Structures are given as structure tokens and as C-alpha cells.
Structure 1
Amino acid sequence: MAPAVPGPERTADVEFAELAVVMARVSESLHFPMDVNDALDSITAGVVAAVPGIDFASISITSKDGRIETLAPSDEAAVRVDKLQYELGEGPCLQAVLADPVVRVDDVATDPRWPAYGPRAAELGVGSQLAFQFRAEPHVRGGVNMYATKPHQLTLETCQLGGLFANLAAVALGWSRQDETMNEALRTRNLIGQAIGIVMERYRLTSDRAFAFLVRTSQQGNLKLYDVAAGVVADANAKAG
């Protein structure tokens, strides 16, 4: 007996199973402690593995000085096409990062919105393109860029799954910044603790009075408590050296 031909339900089951594996892999990369670069690499690799029609992907983020840079490209082709958009100052990638939540291009070569970018992107092997804006508090803004080598490859499913991965990128970058904030808070706490210990020993004070001394010095000098503590520690280190 000839083997049964898989029907639509079986095909859907297989696709869902593959998506579940990809999402599990991405979710694992988002657990604390998290390496944000590994997490973003997992996200762009997941885009290529799970989003129908997409051949390569990248993430663009804005920096404090206004520049836009590429993170976690799944392929060197993504780096080249992203760079082209940055240099020309136009393209779906920039449009998503700076303005529109979602930018869809079914035929890059003929789309009139980006006359300089479109033909050159087609020469680099881009047929269709999809970009999703994301924001990661407090200050990260960027986009997930998805490229297909053929035109008219974007479907409703492509857009739905693409949006899901854009949300994951926002989560990864948001957690990363939160982790940086927590680390900075720990560094501040440790420095103030060192300063309190130095003041206690130097002036024979209790910890409460030593802390009050630092606060009073901060207020009188109109300085941040961190800066006062840093000065006390630096002075003690200089004398010890």
C-alpha cells in the first residue's frame, strides 16, 4: 500500500510543531541571567526558521547620538542591505525605526516609496521586505528587518509571526536595559557602603551617623550622594597607596 499523502491538517501540525521548537529555543535565551547578544541571535535565527517566506533577518536600533546600527544579522546579506538603507537615508528599515509600526514591501524593485533604495536592494538579492518597529523601555527604539529573496512572498501568516518576533526583540532589549539599571544600582550601593565604612573608621561613628554625614555633605555641597561616596573612597585609596 502506498504511503498516505499528508493532508492540510498534518501539514499544519508539522508547521506548528516546528514553530513550537523555535519558540522554545528563543524563550530559553530570554531567561535571566541573559546574554542579550545571544538572545537577539536566537530571535533573528528564529525568524528565518519559522516565518514563512523569510530568508534572512536583522535588528536595527537607534543609538544615543542618533545613529542606527545593525544587531544580530542572520546573514551577511542583511548587513549589506541594512547598511545601504542607512547610507541612502531611506528604506523600509528606516521607515519602521523612525515612523511606522509596520512596513510591508511586496516588490522592492518596483515600490515607488524608495526610488533610490529599491533597485539597488533588488540587485543585492532582496525581493520583498517586512519591518516591524519596537520600543524597549526606557530608551531603546528599533526595528526587526525581514527579507525575502523573491517578490510577493509576504502573507498574513508572515506578518503575524513577524510581529511576534518583534515583540520578543523588545522584551530582550528591555530586560537587558533593566539588568544594566540593576547592576548600576548595585554598584552605587556598594560604593556608598564602602564610603560609610571609611567614615565610620575615620571618625569613630556608627553606621547611621556615618551615612548621615555623607548625606549632609551631599546636601551642603549640592552633590549627588554617589559622587560624595566616590570622593571618600578615592581619597582613602590615594592615602593607602
Structure 2
Amino acid sequence: MSPSIPLEATEAFASLAELVYSGADHQEVLDTICRRAVDIIPGADHVSIATLGKDQALISRAASDDVASLMDRLETEAGEGPCLDSIVEESFQRDDDITSFSTWPALAELTIGRTPVRGMIGYRLQHGTDGRSALNVFSDTPGALTSESADIGAVLAAFTSIALTAAERQADVENLRRGLDSNREIGKAVGLIMAAHDVDADQAFDILRSASSRTNTKLAAIAEKITGSHGRSTS
């Protein structure tokens, strides 16, 4: 049986979808997801989206508040927790009351001593070829993260995965566009150098690359200056 999603949560998902596909900045999307999650997941007080780095440290990509960001750091410090386990074990993780028992005792000790958090959930996010990110939900009230909370959070986690994938694709397209623009400028500059110095393409490119090295300037920037100067001289 699929989880029953309250009307306000459904409306929130619809507004988030509009934000994603309107082409909004991906950081704005992730920040908004964290803030709205606190409103639509029953019992949630703090929410973060974190990525596991190569050094096994969690990097907060977005957070609803400072407590959520702190929880990502505490998981790194403890070396255990719902975010880490959801990523490494590729599974849903939940401790709804760390004051009575916790799957992660080292994290529970740090959490109780330094934050108001008493319950936590971690969802692994599926996106791109990475899959090393998680949506993390924290509650200040023991037992407040119920099965309903977990179900609604799961839907939000799936949505967040889609948002991350959309953001990555948008970034890939933008990087490709910039690369093509740069390559066109480099090609134009090589052509101008060939004509001005009566050299072949390889020699012209070597001249361009040498200028880039001497001035510690990116090749594309040097090329843009050359083509720009030529445009002004012929105008």
C-alpha cells in the first residue's frame, strides 16, 4: 500500500516541482527543500542534505538551520549515523528516540550533549552516478518521527533525488556550452595568428599556448583578447 500523503504535503511537492523545472538555481532548490521539509514531515524540526566526501567526511549541501548543519558535522566526528549508514549501506535508517536506545551510541552521546535533537532519519539519495548523498531529518521530540513521518520523508527523498539529478544535468549543459564557446574563440584566435604570422595551425596554437603560459592566463581568455582586439581593429 502506498503512503497516504496529506494535502499540504502534496501541494508543497507541486510547488517544489515548479521551482525545479523553472530553471531556478540548484542551491536555491536544495535550500527550499530543506526548509519546506520541516513543514511537511510530521515531527521534523531540522533537515539537511549532505554528501559523503572522499575523506569520509559529510559535506552539508543545504540545511534548514544551524542545528541541521551541526548534525552533519557530528556524524563525521562520531564516524557513524543515519546519513552515513544510509549512503554506505544504501538503506533507510531511523532512530526515533536516541534517549532510550540508539543504533549509533557515539553519535547519540554527542547529539544529546550538544543539540536538542532526539530522533533522526536518513534517506540515501539516488542521483547521477554519485549516490553518495542523503536527506537527513531530525526531531527535537523523542518518538515524534513516526511511520507517517518516514513515509512522507521517503517521498520527499525521491523528489530530492530528481532535483539533484536535474541540477547536475543543468550544470553539465552549462559547462558544455562554456566549453564550446571557449573552443570557438580559440579556433578564431589560431586562424588570426596563422594569417598574421604566416604559420600553420600547429605553430599558431604553440604561439597561443606560449602566451598563455608566460602571462599565466587561461588559453580561452588569451584567445578572447586576440579576437576582441582584431574586431576593434577592423571596425
TM-score (norm 2): 0.75
Q: What is the aligned partner in structure 1 of residue 12 from structure 2?
A: 22
Mapped partners of 2:9, 2:224: distance in 1: 58
More deviation, 136-145/48-57 = 136-145
In the TM superposition, 1:41-190 aligns within 5 A as 41-63=31-53, 66-123=56-113, 124-139=115-130, 141-190=132-181
Look up the equivalent residue of 1:198 and give its one-letter code.
A
Mapped partners of 1:136, 1:84: distance in 2: 25
1:30 and 1:39 in contact (8 A); partners too:
yes
Q: Which runs of 5+ in 2 are unaligned?
A: 206-217, 231-235
Distance 1:188 1:64, change over 3 A: farther
Q: Find the partner of 2:27 among 37, 59, 69.
A: 37
Q: What is the aligned partner in structure 1 of residue 222 from structure 2?
A: 234
Mapped partners of 1:109, 1:55: distance in 2: 17
Number of aligned residues: 208
2:82 and 2:122 in contact (8 A); partners too:
yes
**Following TM superposition, by how much is the alpha carbon of 1:112 offset from its aligned partner in structure 2, in angstroms?**
4.4
TM-score (norm 1): 0.74
Mapped partners of 2:22, 2:192: distance in 1: 38
**Following TM superposition, by how much is the alpha carbon of 1:21 offset from its aligned partner in structure 2, in angstroms?**
2.9
- Following TM superposition, the consecutive aligned residue runs of length 4 or more in structure 1 with deviations greater than 6 angstroms are 238-241
**Following TM superposition, by how much is the alpha carbon of 1:59 offset from its aligned partner in structure 2, in angstroms?**
0.9
**Overall identity of the aligned pairs, in %:** 23
Look up the equivalent residue of 2:83 and give its one-letter code.
C
Mapped partners of 1:81, 1:35: distance in 2: 25
2:94 and 2:120 in contact (8 A); partners too:
yes
Distance 1:153 1:238, change over 3 A: same
1:62 and 1:140 in contact (8 A); partners too:
no
Look up the equivalent residue of 2:222 and give its one-letter code.
A
Mapped partners of 1:128, 1:57: distance in 2: 12
Considering only aligned residues, what root-mean-square deviation do their CA atoms show, in Å?
3.0
1:108 and 1:118 in contact (8 A); partners too:
yes
Mapped partners of 2:150, 2:141: distance in 1: 16
Q: Which runs of 5+ in 1 are unaligned?
A: 1-11, 205-209, 218-229
